[in-house]
Amino acid sequence: ARRGIVVCGSGVGACVAANKFKGVRAGLCHDTYSAHQGVEHDDVNVLCLGARIIGESLALEVASAFLGAEFSNEERHVRRLNKVKKFEEGLSS
């Protein structure tokens, strides 16, 4: 799976910008739970971090959780992801 990590002061601006690209599902995460669950449940493919919010050690833990996670492919998560994709396709037409 292709993934990316973007960083800015709060992480918010980087997340807003990343989500403007088709196919990007960026999530702002400041803890390991959000990082792995975002991938497992919502197929997040870009991790956004706030450099002024979390320290280097936690940032590395969050990035590791994000990179080590895999999308669950559970029916309810696939269904939700397909709804998001349809919405995205509708906006681009």
How would you classify the pairing of strands 46-50 and 4-8? parallel
Active site residue 41: yes
- The catalytically annotated residue of 15, 29, 36, 41 is 41
Degrees (nearest 5) of the Cα angle 25, 64, 22? 15
Active site residue 77: no
Return the active site residues: 8, 41
